[in-house]
Structure 1
Amino acid sequence: MPRFLLAATLLLLFVLEGTLVQVFLPDKWGLSLMTVPRFALVGTILVSMFLGRREGLYYGLALGFLQDVLYGQVIGLYMITMMVASYFAGLIVLLFQRGFGMVFVTCSLILFAHEWLLYSLHLLLTKAPVDVQWMLNWQILPTVVLNMLSALVIYSPIKRLCESVMFKRDLPLE
């Protein structure tokens, strides 16, 4: 049951980033900042930090494929980048303790690397390149900040769900 709740929570984060949150983004209010909510990616990064890189890889694969099918122009782009981001988050956590500060710093670095990798792959696959300085200042950094704020909000629930998955014991009914 805890594993089902974890998967349902990540799926809920995926649905929220594509529906309800779109109303509150700065570009809808006329600001020139472009933010892209990646709550499901933040969730998979946190899962891979708490449950291991293989678990994060699987969730990154599934949610990245959903992202590609529903929103992407190229099938496989988000799937690969979310898998890589989740896997490296699980690798980094092997070197350090899982304190809140380390999780916060690692999550922000992984989110930045994910956005940069997405930009690089889009630049490679599309004809019209976007200026690097504009992309960094007006999309990548605001996106990382928005997603780090969401990481602060979902850190505790995801941690509790991951702990319940780790420590689940099947007790016989009496």
Structure 2
Amino acid sequence: MIRFLLPALFALLFILESLFVELLPAELFNSDRILVPHFLMVGILFLTAYLSPRHGILYGIIFGLLFDVVYTEIIGIYLFMFPFIAYLFANMMRILQTNVLIVSILSLLGIALLEVGVYELMLLIKITDLDFSTYVKIRLVPTLILNLAFIILAAYPFKKQFENAADRLRND
């Protein structure tokens, strides 16, 4: 059963990001801020914490490639960043406690790392010319606030779902 539930959950998160962007544009709030949902990344990090680092990195590779193919012009940015952040997250979770508050804070830090990493790569290959202070003001801070709200709503359901999946894997 876990073979079908986890991919379905992550496919739903992948689609939910796109739906969120389409149905709730920033212009709705009369703002020039850019809100970028990273619900999929939050799911991958909670999966890494509560199921296993191997699953988190594997899902990071699969959905990073899918994200690149569907949303970006350059294949490899998210393909590299998703599993890399999941790997760093797994190493941090070896040191820290695996409670929902710590996982939530580290997930938000992982999203910040993802955003800054993608920005720096885009700046390096000259896709963007936005200076860093403007980037922080119009994209990074609103993105972190949006994803913090999602983490608050989804933390306990993700924790419960992935702990149950871990129990099912151990029992099989």
TM-score scaled by length of structure 1 = 0.90
Q: Distance in 2 between matches of 1:116 and 1:128?
A: 13
Query: Counterparts of 1:63 and 1:118 in 2: how far apart (Å)?
Result: 16
3-state SS in 2 of match to 1:32: coil
CA distance in 2, matches of 1:120, 1:107: 20
- In the alignment, the residues of structure 2 paired with residue 84 and residue 27 of structure 1 have an alpha-carbon distance, to the nearest angstrom, of 33
Structure 2 portions without partners, runs of 5+ = none
Structure 1 unaligned spans of 5+: none
* TM-superposed deviation, 1:147: 1.1
1:78-157 equivalence runs, <5 A: 78-157=78-157
Aligned positions, number: 170
| Separation in structure 1 between the aligned mates of residue 89 and residue 127 of structure 2, nearest angstrom | 31
Cα RMSD of the aligned pairs, angstroms, is: 1.5
Greater shift in the superposed pair: 84-93 or 16-25: 16-25
Match of 2:25 in 1: 25
CA-CA distance at 1:127 after TM superposition: 5.0
User: SS at the partner of 1:19?
Assistant: helix
Shift of the alpha carbon at 1:102? 0.9
- Supply the AA of the counterpart residue of 1:81: M
In 2, Cα distance between the equivalents of 1:47 and 1:124? 31
Pair 27,57 (structure 1): closer, same or farther in 2 beyond 3 Å: farther
Deviation sequence 1:78-135 (CA, Å, 0-9, x none):
1111111111111111101111221121111111111110100111112542111000
Query: Match of 2:17, as an amino acid?
Result: E
Contact 1:27 1:35 in 2 (8 A): no
Instruction: Please give the alpha-carbon distance, in whole angstroms, between the structure 1 residues aligned to 2:128 and 2:70.
Output: 23
Runs of 4+ aligned residues of structure 1 deviating over 3 Å after TM superposition are none
